[in-house]
Homo-oligomer: A and B are copies of this chain.
Amino acid sequence: MAVTIKDVAKLANVAPSTVSRVIANNPRISEATKKRVKEAMKELGYHPNFSARSLANQNTQAIGIVMPSSGNSVFQNPFFPEVIRGISAKAHENKYALYMTTGTSEQEMYDGVVDMIQGRRVDGIVLLYSRVDDRIMTYLQESNFPFVVIGKPFRNIEDITHIDNDNFRAAQDATEHLIQQQHDRIGFVGGDRGLVVTVDRLLGYEKAIQKAGLTYRDDYVVHEEFLEEGGQEAINELMSLEEPPTGLVVTDDLMALGILKTLSEMDIKVPDDISVISFNNVMLSEISTPSLTSVCINIFWLGYEAADSLIEKIKVPETKPKRVTVPYRLVERNSCQTRQTN
């Protein structure tokens, strides 16, 4: 077995409880013994056993991360490594480790989350997505376990701490950016309509269209799962309309990349023939050709704030639910240009 608190106690000639106090940095312990114990720890190479500690403590110093199921293609989105980096940064500052459940189906994910919570593997959970009518979120709420959501909860917003951008306004701004560039036929390409973020961005788009006095056209709004089979068809149809759009608001950089490809295959030039603006500003948007004008939503920051709010909630359970809004900003690159009216 590894070296335990007892070994340290023996070597330092104190009781185990004293060693425990030294670890916890209990103020009422003499500097002398503190030093002696610390030396003993160093000498033996002592490391506290987390399981034992958790058991006694009722706390794990671990945060659970719930991603979309890995069967889902969004799993591939660079959004995730980046939020995790943010979460991780804050977690690390507070000596929390990260724990992940995974699963290839919604059911597996659900079971994983239940296990994680009921099995007391973690002190709190960050839900990395928000979808309409999500069992997991419902469960989290009912279980009364500390958790925060990245994104906007579909219901019970008031009761759930969540970290989000103002996606409505962001989409409105993005759309208006195209409008300012003289575009008046603007399409919207959304991702999974089950995601609240998709809905929010669509609403923002609609608002901008309406506010500018343009007519909202159903056939300008498509949803594609570009990673799936046949994902290109939606774009094909869109561009085959009698009056195809000259500007596109796309809800995700990765989708925009796919669209860039489809367009190039149709021999439609970006930004000359059509302007494309998208969201997230992942590193790819910079290295694609053309580089993408994208709304930077500060992914890292979302993660960082999420961990921050969660840790607060863990430490002070009475903390009121709150909404943290992370700012966004439009980053202009080369996928948009003023419409050529000739």
Contacts and interface: CB of A to CB of B under 8 A. Distances in A.
Interface of A: 2, 45, 47-52, 54-55, 60, 62, 70, 75-76, 78, 80-82, 84-85, 88-89, 91-92, 97-104, 108, 112, 114-116, 118-121, 226-227, 254, 257-258, 260-261, 264, 283-284, 287-289, 291
A120 B283 contact: no
B92 A102 contact: yes
Contacts of A101: 97-98
Given A70-B85, A98-B100, A119-B47, A261 B289 contact: yes
Contacts of A98: 99-102
Contacts of A118: 2, 45, 47
22 contacts: A2-B118, A49-B119, A50-B120, A51-B54, A51-B60, A55-B55, A70-B88, A70-B89, A75-B85, A76-B78, A84-B102, A88-B100, A89-B104, A91-B102, A92-B108, A97-B116, A98-B102, A99-B100, A226-B287, A257-B284, A257-B287, A261-B289
Nearest to A70: B85
Contacts of A108: 92
A121 B284 contact: no
Contacts of A62: 99
A97 B100 CA distance: 7
Contacts of A120: 2, 49-51
A227 B89 CA distance: 20
A55 to B, nearest CB: 4
A155 to B, nearest CB: 24
A300 to B, nearest CB: 10
Contacts of A254: 287
Given A55-B52, A92-B108, A101-B97, A289 B289 contact: yes
B89 A47 contact: no
A125 to B, nearest CB: 13
A115 B244 CA distance: 58
